Amino acid sequence: MAREPVERRLAAILAADVAGYSRLVGADEEGTLTRLKAYRRELIDPKIAEHRGRIVKTTGDGLLVEFSSVVDALRCATEMQTAMAERNVAVPPDSRIEFRVGIHQGDIIVEDGDIFGDGVNIAARLESLAEPGGICVSARVQEDASGKLDLAFEDIGEPELKNIARPVRVFRVVVKGAALPSELPAALPLPDKPSVAVLPFSNMSGDPEQEFFADGIAEDIITALSRYPSLFVIARNSCFTYKGRVVDVKQVGRELGVRYVLEGSLRKSGNRIRVTAQLVEAETAKHVWAERYDRDLADIFALQDEITEAVTIAIAPAIADAEQQRAMRKPPEALDAWAAYQRGLWHASKATAEDNALAEAFFQRAIDLDPNFAGGYSGLAAAQHQGARLFRTRDLSDAQDSAERLARQALALDASDAEARARLALLLMQRGDHEGARADAERALALSPNPARAHGVLGATLIFSGRP
């Protein structure tokens, strides 16, 4: 049979919906519907008509609109959001009707007045990334509209879009000289150590049976990371509120008060499974670490354990490195105790006499800023010990005594500090107390699997104890 010709055309597609619609309707069904109809009648529909748009279809809380011009679509969206923000000024924040808008330009299929295709799906995914009162657009829209409207565009990277296989670069629209279209919730304050949220891993396999495997990996990583005393890890219940949602890591960072977000996905093909994971700095959306794990699907629980361990062991040093780089970007006068400690670690790692002296100064500053912060004491112990043994900047015996006192002070403040425990183990080993060193190295590794120093000391003490 001959196939009917398919009508295709290039279009700018605008997708919009009401943020928190279910909550609004649950609180005041009749009032919400009445106000939404009034906004549509008085503002939104006239704006669409003014900018030559065609409403393709509406849902209870959303609409899909086709424009022949990217500039028309974006001008319509920004004017609509600005007008809605003005109307919401006198409305309590929890009662406001605020739209999220996504715009994409792409090839569409037209059938009986409706439109279909990847272009429509991408616009819908972009809308879900937008903040209440905000607009997200694809790179195609940003490129075509740049310089034609008084707008700025904030690059938020290539977030994974549900059921969209290819990467799409996304931009957040900023109206120059205007206030934010809606009041964003105040960001939660960051804790005084690196904080991380592990989002539910996306099941991209199309196999519902793999859902529990994806959830299990995320849950196990949360549990494993919680064993690291240097990390502040968000609980599973808070992280899993994002399950099934396409979210912006910057939004997650603000809402959960975290500096880092781990996200991942799972794909299954035959008897093979692929798990990808990426660690992102929430404030900048910068990728800190990413890895892919391809495995045979045999013992599902053993596989889950293997991938969990591999991801967890990789994340901790990636965060430690990112924290040092972050501290180095701060001016010295703006350092808090944690940042001063990170600056000390950075200089200590250079292993020169000059850098070691700077490391001592930064660790001492961390102690001065916060006398109850264990890291300052363990860092200063390490720098004094390194100065004596490598650079002969102080008497070795005096440095050994001072470093041991500092390490014990760190453990008195925080018994779960695995690095301080590993440092004490090294000091005891060099005193000849092999049994004490072995016990402290084992305790350090029980607290955290990552301290390389603890592994090295444990190996050396076993050799010295006649147990090679």
* DSSP states of 131-181: PTT-EEEEHHHHHHHTTTSSEEEEE---PPPTT--S---EEEEEETT---S
120 lies in the same domain as 200: no
Per-residue confidence (pLDDT) for residue 178, from 0 to 100: 41
Structural domain contains residue 113 = yes
Contact 277, 263 (CB under 8 A): yes
209 lies in the same domain as 312: yes
Q: Is the dihedral of CA 426, 429, 430, 431 positive or negative?
A: positive
149 lies in the same domain as 15: yes
Averaged pLDDT for residues 404-424: 91
Higher pLDDT, 289 or 181: 289
pLDDT category at 1 given cuts 50, 70, 90 is low
Strand partners, 264: 277
Which tens digits make up the pLDDT trace of 300-340? 788 888 888 889 888 888 888 888 887 887 777 778 888 88
Structural domain contains residue 186 = no
Per-residue confidence (pLDDT) for residue 197, from 0 to 100: 93
pTM of the full structure: 0.53
Averaged pLDDT for residues 452-463: 94
Distance CA 130, CA 125 (A): 9
51 lies in the same domain as 133: yes
Per cent of the chain over pLDDT 70 is 95
Higher pLDDT, 237 or 79: 79
Per cent of the chain over pLDDT 90 is 34
Distance CA 445, CA 438 (A): 11
Least confident among 141-150, 245-254, 441-450: 245-254
Tokens standing for 438?
A: 């072995």
Distance CA 262, CA 275 (A): 13
Distance CA 228, CA 226 (A): 5
Q: Is the pLDDT of residue 132 over 90?
A: no
Domain boundary among 274, 304, 328: 328
State residue 414 phi and psi, 5-degree precision: -150, 95
User: 19: domain range?
Assistant: 7-175
128 lies in the same domain as 254: no
Strand partners, 49: none
227 lies in the same domain as 153: no
Per-residue confidence (pLDDT) for residue 93, from 0 to 100: 76
Per-residue confidence (pLDDT) for residue 203, from 0 to 100: 85
Which tens digits make up the pLDDT trace of 63-84? 999 999 999 999 999 999 988 9
Q: Is the pLDDT of residue 186 over 60?
A: no
201 lies in the same domain as 324: yes
Q: Is the pLDDT of residue 179 over 50?
A: no
Distance CA 322, CA 315 (A): 10
Average per-residue pLDDT in the chain?
Answer: 86
